[in-house]
Amino acid sequence: MTLPKTHSAIQLTDPGPSPTVSLNSNIPLPTLQNGHVLVKNTYAGINYIENYFISGIYQAPSDPYTLGREGEGIIVAVSQELAQHLDPTVRDLKVGDRVAYLQAPAYAQYSAAPVDKVLKLPEGLAEGLGAAVLLQGLTAVTLATVSYPAKKGDIVLVHAAAGGVGLLLVQYLNKVIGARVIATASSEEKLALAKESGAEWAFLYGPSGNEWIEAVKSIPEVKERGGVAGIYDSVGKATFEGGLEVIAVKGTFVSFGNASGSVEPFSLSRLTAKNIAILRPQLFPYIRTRAEFTRYVDELVRLIYEGTLKVKLKVYPWENFDQALQDIRSRGTTGKLILKIA
């Protein structure tokens, strides 16, 4: 197969107060290093994290920096030593396979993806779903089974419950584990969606941003148990203090995002009043090895295939990346957004 020498990609320059994000052409094709496959992308997933790089909350590894961290496409080249790989699901990857992957800049026509994070897509999986489910789906599964392994009947709280991770997390907690979910979100439409996905209770944050606290505390079952057993909080700064109020004795507080800003440093001695545990996990240390990645991804794909987990998808042509990034930043979106790469 003859490959072009250059391609186009959506790149960030000058992250911080006045960033530039633009679709640039004539960028050299990624070089294919050991342990990688080269993928011609068809779709790329949009994740809230791009905003952290654009605004400078997280430091971009380079300037310019190609955005995106999950994609779907067709393998166009494999690195030579792949034939000796111990894992047959890696060894068998070949040119022409339709795959999804994580951990490579994906807002581009071509990406070099690390084989440990490449999934050969099963036949019949709808186009775009591969790019849609890996990052948010694996986050939801690992949060619900590792960070705080919820149990059947637990009452747990999920903030931003109608977002990409949020909707999958509510579904997994309720439909797979059998936990009872309290959802929060910023609009009635989002609350309705969270309820359709399995939330038993759903509350707006409220005009001051804090009305949800009393709403949660006044649920009779929550009163009876002295609080909620687990909290999954991606909102960060705005909901952290409220979480400490509504959590039960020996509860687990999983803080996994900063959509409203980073949680302020706090004194560890604040945990003693209720003997609570607080975690600040991120996905990748949970899926460091191929075995870990496969374990969670197999379950995720099965649940999607069976229809237990449903993905609410919105597709943007990649020329409209600006609109997509603005939409997710402005809290106007629900479910997952993906870019169709031309």
Closer CB to ligand NDP, residue 279 or residue 342?
279
| 47 is a contact residue toward ligand NDP (CB under 6 A) | yes
Contacts with 325 (C-beta within 8 Å, 6 or more apart), sequence order = 21, 46, 50, 51, 54
Report the amino acid identity of residue 110: Y
| 260 is a contact residue toward ligand NDP (CB under 6 A) | yes
- Least distance to ligand NDP from the beta carbon of 324, Å? 11
| 117 is a contact residue toward ligand NDP (CB under 6 A) | no
| 139 is a contact residue toward ligand NDP (CB under 6 A) | yes
Closer CB to ligand NDP, residue 115 or residue 311?
311
Return the number of other C-beta atoms located less than 10 Å from residue 290's C-beta: 18
Contacts with 146 (C-beta within 8 Å, 6 or more apart), sequence order = 281, 286
Contact (Cβ atoms closer than 8 angstroms) between residue 213 and residue 184: no
| 255 is a contact residue toward ligand NDP (CB under 6 A) | no
Q: Which of 259, 242, 75 is nearest to 160 (CA)?
A: 259
Return the number of other C-beta atoms located less than 10 Å from residue 278's C-beta: 20
| 331 is a contact residue toward ligand NDP (CB under 6 A) | yes
**Segment lying near ligand NDP (by CB under 6 A), choices 60-68, 156-164, 169-177, 224-232:** 156-164
Among 109, 234, 253, 276, binds ligand NDP (CB under 6 A): 234
Alpha carbons 181 and 158: distance in angstroms, whole number = 7
| 186 is a contact residue toward ligand NDP (CB under 6 A) | yes
Q: Contact residues for ligand NDP (CB under 6 A)? A: 47-49, 135-136, 139, 160, 162-166, 185-186, 190, 234-235, 238, 256-260, 281-283, 328, 331, 333
